[in-house]
């Protein structure tokens, strides 16, 4: 059996590698063009994926059974009644009002303007409050000048449980310091930086705030939409002079995740444009190689090389540039995404699909932009190529 005609694949790849090395700076610039576009695509896809994962973790931290009802008085100042366990609408396990104001806290000569929250003891169950020092507020504290401090505020003022501080014109005893709660974008206040007191206590502030928010805990996550409708109907019937808007953390965070994905793909399309420019750079290198190596092409054809052998030589050169650029781009993109998430305080989450997508687009572009110069080289006539100066 006769041997197959033409060079072997290892020989073809070796010749393509040699040609790429001889191209020098042009090949490096084309490789960097592919690498930059691929790195941008990988980085943006992984940043978007990490942002979506961070949003899901935030939702889990918020509580999958939490509802937020915003109350806005339309006629006159008013305050909704605190809901008792026997008075709750269907699907609601516990609910607590929030009256939020701003006041100046003074302790040991230091003054800090901070948020003050008045609520009931049901807030402990709804938000699952825990303390690092002291105790939580109870029903016996309603008429007393007792407060809880958020973890960050207590650390900033260097206040401990049992200390006494001034809030407005009154002195208050700190009965506890909350454990770090974390930021909840659904709530009107960050409890880590706030003072928490019984709802009757906020009447000591000047001016006393209205209750503008009701936080509720659903029976289970599956029936939360139905519980939200029940809560809306209940509040609207009990508070006809208020506008009621019930929000679910799931809905808001799913919307944020969807917007994040859309922005990621929009930015990824920009990265694809950068990849296209890198492909144009590969095509420029290939065209220049064909022009400079016309005599070599003529000699190869005169010695028996076929047009497909010549075409494969240049196609492999383009593919090698694309593969090298894609590999470099993947490493740079992953490093950039990791650094971005680290600076943002997120956990890096690898988007496994970004690697084959970026590599695949790079190879397709390398093949597409390298094919035309390769076919042009394959169509050269040996006599014409050898006669060129």
Q: Along the 389 residues of the chain, how does pLDDT read in single tens digits?
A: 345 566 666 777 777 777 777 777 777 887 888 888 888 889 888 888 887 777 667 665 555 678 889 888 776 555 555 566 557 888 898 899 999 999 999 998 888 999 999 999 999 999 889 999 999 999 899 889 999 999 999 999 999 999 999 988 889 999 999 999 877 777 889 999 999 999 988 888 877 788 889 999 888 777 888 888 999 998 888 888 888 888 887 666 667 667 777 777 777 777 778 788 878 877 877 777 777 777 777 777 767 777 777 778 778 888 888 888 889 999 999 999 999 999 888 888 888 888 898 888 888 888 888 787 777 777 766 656 566 55
Dihedral of the alpha carbons of 236, 238, 239, 243, in degrees to the nearest 10: -10
Place of tokens 């490789």: 31
Q: Are 44 and 52 in contact (CB under 8 A)?
A: no
Rounded to the nearest 5 degrees, what angle is found at the Cα of 189, between the Cα atoms of 155 and 212?
145
Q: Using CA of residue 114, residue 120, residue 125, residue 130, what is the dihedral sign?
A: positive
Which residues is 171 bridged to in the sheet? Answer: 166
Q: Three-class SS of residue 16?
A: helix
Full-prediction pTM beyond 0.75? no
- Domain locations along the chain: 9-59+254-387, 77-240
Tokens read off for 48? 């978007």
For 46-55, letters b (16+ CB in 10 Å) and e give bbbbbbbbbb
Count the neighbouring beta carbons within 10 Å of the beta carbon of residue 57: 14
Dist. CA 37–CA 334, nearest whole Å: 13
């Amino acid at each position: 059996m006769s041997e197959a005609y033409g060079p072997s694949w290892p020989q073809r790849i070796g010749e393509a590698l040699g040609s790429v090395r001889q191209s020098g700076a042009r090949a490096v610039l084309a490789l960097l063009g592919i690498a930059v576009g691929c790195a941008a695509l990988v980085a943006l896809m992984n940043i978007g994926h990490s942002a979506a994962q961070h949003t899901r973790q935030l939702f889990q931290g918020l509580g999958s059974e939490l509802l937020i009802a915003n109350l806005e008085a339309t006629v006159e100042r008013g305050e909704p009644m605190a809901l008792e366990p026997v008075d709750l609408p269907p699907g609601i396990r516990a609910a607590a009002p929030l009256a939020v104001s701003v006041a100046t806290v003074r302790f040991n000569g230091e003054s800090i303007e901070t948020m003050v929250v008045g609520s009931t003891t049901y807030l402990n169950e709804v938000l699952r409050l825990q303390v690092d020092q002291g105790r939580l507020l109870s029903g016996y504290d309603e008429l007393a000048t007792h407060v809880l401090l958020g973890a960050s505020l207590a650390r900033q003022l260097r206040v401990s449980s049992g200390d006494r501080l001034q809030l407005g014109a009154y002195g208050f005893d700190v009965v506890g310091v909350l454990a770090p709660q974390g930021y909840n974008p659904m709530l009107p206040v960050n409890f880590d930086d706030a003072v928490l007191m019984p709802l009757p206590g906020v009447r000591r502030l000047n001016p006393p705030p209205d209750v503008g928010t009701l936080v509720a805990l659903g029976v289970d996550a599956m029936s939360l939409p139905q519980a939200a409708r029940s809560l809306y109907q209940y509040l609207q019937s009990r508070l006809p002079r208020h506008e009621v808007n019930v929000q679910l953390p799931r809905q808001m965070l799913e919307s944020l995740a969807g917007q994040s994905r859309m922005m990621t793909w929009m930015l990824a399309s920009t990265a694809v444009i950068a990849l296209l420019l890198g492909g144009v750079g590969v095509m420029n290198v290939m065209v220049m190689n064909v022009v400079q190596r016309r005599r070599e092409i003529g000699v190869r054809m005169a010695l028996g090389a076929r047009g497909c052998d010549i075409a494969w030589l240049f196609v492999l050169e383009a593919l090698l540039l694309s593969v090298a650029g894609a590999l470099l781009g993947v490493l740079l993109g992953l490093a950039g995404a990791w650094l971005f998430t680290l600076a943002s305080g997120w956990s890096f989450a690898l988007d496994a699909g970004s690697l084959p997508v970026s590599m695949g687009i790079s190879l397709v572009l390398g093949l597409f932009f390298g094919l035309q110069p390769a076919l042009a080289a394959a169509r050269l006539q040996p006599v014409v190529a050898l006669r060129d100066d």
